[in-house]
Structure 1
Amino acid sequence: MIDWHEIARTESVIRLGEMLRRQFNVWVGFVGTSGIGIPIGANQPVDKALCSAFMSRRDGNGSCHASLGTWMEALAGDDKHVDGPMLLECHAALKSLVVPIRSDKTLVGACYISGFAVDGGDAEERTVRRGAELELGKTLVSQGNRALPRVTERELRLFEELGQMIADEAMTLIGRQKKPDQRTVPGVGEYGAMIGQSATIEKLFRLLDKVCRSDSTVLIQGEPGVGKELVAKAIHFNSARGERAIVVQNCSALNDSLLDSELFGHKRGAFTGAIGDKQGLFELADRGTFFLDEIGDMSAMLQVKLLRVLQEGTFLPVGDTVMRKVDVRIIAATNRDLRAMVKEGTFRNDLYYRLNVITVHVPSLRERLEDVPQLVEYFLVEKAEQNLQPIKAVSKELMAKLVAYDWPGNVRELENEVERLVVLSGDVDEIPASLLSPRILKRPPTTIPAGAMFAFAPQLPKNLPEALENLERHMILESLKRTNWNKTRTAKELGISRRNLIRKVDRFKLDTLRPDESSE
């Protein structure tokens, strides 16, 4: 089953959708075979008096949504071979450009650009007639119609090109959803929403590909804020235990007695306040995964009980005399040096080696600064959706400051900074650098990783031709990176000839960004 919501939240898709929406005041989204529309990016406000008037009537929303199903029927057609964009209408006679999306020659959905009029068109008469059927005044409908965005033939061609690019990107994403080894975590995102394409993060992804296929105990190490819990969930959901529960407990959040009861459960009367039996988290995690965060803060007594679970799969609830047995995969995490703690005698040597079967180091954000632009765009979308605001852009000066900062608080600090920027920016479309926190704003310039600002360059240009060129440059560069600069494979992946690719690489001077060791 295709997850259209996930596709509609993808960075490249959102960038295209937002450019169209901001410049032309149109709706952009996907519709699946069910006929349900999925808007691209943040919530798209109704900014058309005509639409508001039609929707205010009885079953106005229902008629609007029914148009989506009608479009899908039109795309399917009698011969099932409608492959190009179609210019259709909604129930109010507003124009809609609909681009079919096919998988294995089967229609699986469409991209729509809707809510406009075409210069020289004759839709106004039909709109007035439909308005009269709903008892809408002719003057109101005519005024609303005249306020619609008017699209020229040239702009309509741009609509078709951008709509096809969105549809092509959706097809690529659908292909990834179908792959059994995809990096998708249900309810979490791509490898636990670990956004990035740097060599550092790709190395982590390659390691996780192997770890997910095993059932071994894992020790995750990394600084605070790098996303250790996200890594743990990624391992769980991509493992054979992915259909079972994952239980999370921070070992530093509770005192010794409470943590003992929380992990292993207790019997009624085991201590003051134990008014009934309580099932421990290990039992809840049976046949699933238990993620123990901040394992270095666990007391010596609880280390002994945890060691027994690792060795034999058994434990004794507080106040009980009957041993319990569980089948649990344990993933532990810490930002402390457990090896040093073993030497100091504060962490058990045998437990350390039981936990340290596979070690996963999560890199700090300063080790992958080239991922900052992509992370910023991800958080801009997320915070806009949370605050029911349009998606904002950031100035190049602001992005340069973010990329130059060393982020001691890692991804968590970056997320908080982006949320702060979104809130403080008010109604502006592009967030200026002056709104940055003083610690970031006053940081002296440092070397920015090659490609970091380039990754940001395509974001929301001022006009559609420039947007198309920037997006084309960005897509070619990313494809070259994925294929290790093999131009034959890149051309095949992008669906263009090798000669055409070489010409575009020369035009955009992409060879200047090419690593020395890459192959043709």
Structure 2
Amino acid sequence: MSVSIPPATIRPTGRVAACAKDVAAQQHLELAIRRNGYESIAVSSLEELRALLMSENIAAAVIDEPESIEEIERLDTEMRRADRPTQFILLPSIGHRINVPRSVSCDVVEPPLTPERIGHSLFSAVGRAQLISENLELKQKLEGRMFDGLVGNSQQTRELRNQIHTAAEHDQPILVTGEAGCGKSEAARAIHLTRSGPTQPLLTIRCSLLTSAAIEKELFGDEESDGRFASAADGTLVFEDIEALTIPLQVQIAEVIRNSAYRRGETYIPLRARIIATTTTNLRQLCTEAKFDTRLLNLIERNTIQVASLRSRVEDLPALAEHFVQQCCVREGQHLRRLSDAALSRLESHNWPGNVRELENVINRCCSLAGDTVITAEEIQPWLEQSEESTESPGLTLKEMERKLIEATFNRFGGNRELTAKALQIGIRTLSGKLREYGYPPRGGPGSNRKQQRAA
């Protein structure tokens, strides 16, 4: 007689929290959870459970004899807002019935509370959590493709993406604020792409680099050419560092925004461009000092987006660093490289006063010379030292980058040319030629292992 074997079931995996005030009840729940093949962790109150769910990845939470369904509803709402997949399983006391609103993601297991009944609910709850996690991951990947300059999955970056989606639903002016190098231009670009798409114009006026007369001509045009207000029609016009505009120009722009039209000669032309302004300063403070037009600020600050500094979202750094490494390798035609764990740790320990732009500069300089597949902390260190010397992170030529790396490696190996050449993966004769070019004495000569002081 043949025996039918039920089809194998793939059990979803995940950690499960057991919430109960009584220690014996905690132990009973943890035993039931472990018997069903899940890792368990116990807490004694909803406050402890909330802290656990916000800090760790928990697939399901089993709550023994909840006192208030309203508290569970609030906790569930917090988890959804934070993009947490946690599902809730409620175990009412004997004789007590729980009416769960449809908006709450939870199951109710009625007595008797056997491991089998709890296990059945756990299987469903952990499975749902796993599906939600996969959907969230897919959503983040899709958003990452749409906002390729806003890499990362920190809470601040997710909120920024949500703000960008909201800003894309209307055509009102947007003010993007934040420290230098934090990604304000990328945020403006993302708003444009989400609202207008890649086929419409995205034009930028760098207010700090042009004179007042040049900016006025750029905006309004002349008899020979259209201005940016016209050229950016159906697209976006970005005023970068808007605080650098003169007060008369600020007044003119405020009039254009208020009237949704600009004047060219004797004709008023409808404004069809979305206005986005970026700044690193407190514009309200500038208004009190009579250095910024209050009417213009009142028009652009109604929809303000704050871009967080890199040091306040360090959890984004690994993804950003790998993103810049891949970009540089493709641009330089190198084989794909990656950062070692030690290199990432060294990057994470840096304060990043120049924010994302500084990180990109450091990665580009490190990757400018071909090396091993794995980028080490030793390769990163010279560029971080230079970055620490100057928060401005000035651009270097490829030749200057090469010299910086060679000299830093040479000093790290105490002037040993063989070890230096091996680390740089270049020939000893090539290294000696480079050192001679930099002013080092010939190999074996007096002071050959010391850098000569260059004349001031």
Match of 1:295 among 239, 242, 247: 242
Match of 1:346 among 291, 296, 305: 291
1:381 and 2:341 equivalent?
no
Question: Residue 288 of structure 1: CA displacement?
Answer: 2.0
Change (3 A) 1:350 1:241: farther
Q: Which position in structure 2 is the counterpart of 1:215?
A: 171
**Percent of paired sites with the same residue:** 29
Contact 2:365 2:383 in 1 (8 A): no
User: CA–CA distance in 2 between the matches of 1:313 and 1:392?
Assistant: 49
Question: Residue 234 of structure 1: CA displacement?
Answer: 0.8
1:403-450 per-position Cα deviation (integer Å, ceiling 9, x unaligned): 1111111111111111111124x3322222122244736999xxxxxx
User: CA–CA distance in 1 between the matches of 2:197 and 2:373?
Assistant: 44
User: CA–CA distance in 1 between the matches of 2:373 and 2:197?
Assistant: 44
Match of 2:344 among 374, 393, 399: 399
AA of the residue aligned to 2:191: I
SS at match of 1:238: helix
AA of the residue aligned to 2:360: E
1:279-299 per-position Cα deviation (integer Å, ceiling 9, x unaligned): 100001122221111100011
1:428 and 2:372 equivalent?
yes
After the TM superposition, which residues 77-88 of structure 1 pair with which residues of structure 2 at under 5 Å, given as runs? Answer: none
Unaligned runs of 5+ in 1: 1-170, 268-276, 445-520
AA of the residue aligned to 1:324: I
Q: Which position in structure 2 is the counterpart of 1:229?
A: 185
Q: Which position in structure 1 is the counterpart of 2:254?
A: 307
1:370 and 2:307 equivalent?
no
AA of the residue aligned to 1:183: E
Q: Which position in structure 2 is the counterpart of 1:282?
A: 229
SS at match of 2:384: helix
Instruction: Kindly name which structure, 1 or 2, has the bigger radius of gyration based on alpha carbons.
Output: 2
Contact 2:177 2:306 in 1 (8 A): yes
Q: Which has the higher contact order (CA 8 A, sep 6+)?
A: 1
AA of the residue aligned to 1:309: V
Question: Residue 224 of structure 1: CA displacement?
Answer: 1.2
1:463-492 per-position Cα deviation (integer Å, ceiling 9, x unaligned): xxxxxxxxxxxxxxxxxxxxxxxxxxxxxx
1:258 and 2:202 equivalent?
no
Question: Residue 349 of structure 1: CA displacement?
Answer: 0.7
1:362-410 per-position Cα deviation (integer Å, ceiling 9, x unaligned): 0110011111111111111111101111111222222111011111111
Q: Which position in structure 1 is the counterpart of 2:143?
A: 183
Contact 2:362 2:383 in 1 (8 A): no
AA of the residue aligned to 1:430: V
Change (3 A) 1:213 1:324: closer
Contact 1:310 1:354 in 2 (8 A): yes
Question: Residue 240 of structure 1: CA displacement?
Answer: 5.2
Number of equivalent positions? 255
Q: Which position in structure 1 is the counterpart of 2:159?
A: 203
SS at match of 2:278: strand
SS at match of 1:316: strand
1:113-160 per-position Cα deviation (integer Å, ceiling 9, x unaligned): xxxxxxxxxxxxxxxxxxxxxxxxxxxxxxxxxxxxxxxxxxxxxxxx
User: CA–CA distance in 2 between the matches of 1:418 and 1:299?
Assistant: 36
SS at match of 1:427: coil
AA of the residue aligned to 1:233: R
1:306-337 per-position Cα deviation (integer Å, ceiling 9, x unaligned): 011101122234xx333333222211111111
Contact 1:241 1:289 in 2 (8 A): no
SS at match of 1:397: helix
1:78-137 per-position Cα deviation (integer Å, ceiling 9, x unaligned): xxxxxxxxxxxxxxxxxxxxxxxxxxxxxxxxxxxxxxxxxxxxxxxxxxxxxxxxxxxx
SS at match of 1:213: coil
CA RMSD of aligned residues (A): 2.7
